Amino acid sequence: MTDSRRTIRASAVLLGLTFGMIPAAVAQTVPGNTNPAARVVYPSEGQLAEQQMSDQLACYTWSSEQTDWDPQRAFAQLEQDHAQALQQYQQSQGGAIRGAAGGALAGLAIGAIAGDAGKGAAIGAVAGGAAGGMRSRRGQQAAQEAFEQAAAQFQDAFRLWDRHWMACMDGRKYSVR
C-alpha cells in the first residue's frame, strides 16, 4: 500500500470514528487515541497532520504487536479490576455488624443451654463482632492490594509499550517528548 493510500485510509477511519460513521467491528480495530501518553510530537520533516495521524496509528499497532500489550484494552481491564475491588471492598464493609449479629444468635443458644441467654448473647455478640471486623479489614486490605498490584503491572507494561511507540515515531522522523 502506498503512503498516499495509507494516509487517505487513516484519515477516512479517523473521520469516520469522529462522526460515528464506521461500523463497530471496524472501529474496534482502530484505537481511539493513538498517543495515549499524550506525548508532544513535532513533525521534524514537515509531515502533514494526516500523515502524522497515520504514522501514530502505525506506531500504536507496531508497539502493541512488539510488546503483546494494548494500552487501551489493558486500561479497560484495569477499570474492571478497580470496579471489582471496589465491589469487594463494599461487600466486606459491615463485617463487624454481621459478625456481632451471628455471634449474638450463637451466644443466645449457648447461653440458653447454660442458663443465662442474655449473657451468652452479649458474649457471642462481642466475639462475633471482633471476628467479623477482622474479616472485613482483611477483605478490604486484600482488595486494595490486588488493585495496587494490577495498577503497578499496568504502569510497567505501559512504560515498555511507550518506549516502543517513541522509537517508532523517532524512526518516522518525529521529535517526541
| Domain presence at residue 78 | no
- Tell me the β-bridge partners of 43: 174
Do 64 and 106 fall within a single domain? no
| Domain presence at residue 79 | no
Do 170 and 139 fall within a single domain? no
HSE at residue 21, side-chain half, CA atoms within 13 A, is: 8
pTM of the model: 0.61
Total structural domains in the chain?
2
Q: 3-state class of 47 per DSSP?
A: coil
Would you state the cell numbers that stand for residue 90, as one nine-digit string?
463494599
Residue 171 has pLDDT above 70, yes or no: yes
| Domain presence at residue 18 | yes
Do 62 and 24 fall within a single domain? yes
pLDDT one-digit tens code per residue, 36-89 = 999 999 999 999 999 999 999 999 999 999 999 999 999 999 889 888 877 877
Higher-scoring residue by pLDDT: 20, 115:
115
pLDDT at residue 124 in the model: 57
Do 88 and 141 fall within a single domain? yes
Q: Residue 51 in contact with residue 9, Cβ under 8 Å?
A: no
Do 88 and 151 fall within a single domain? yes
**Residue 55 is part of which domain span?**
3-72+165-176
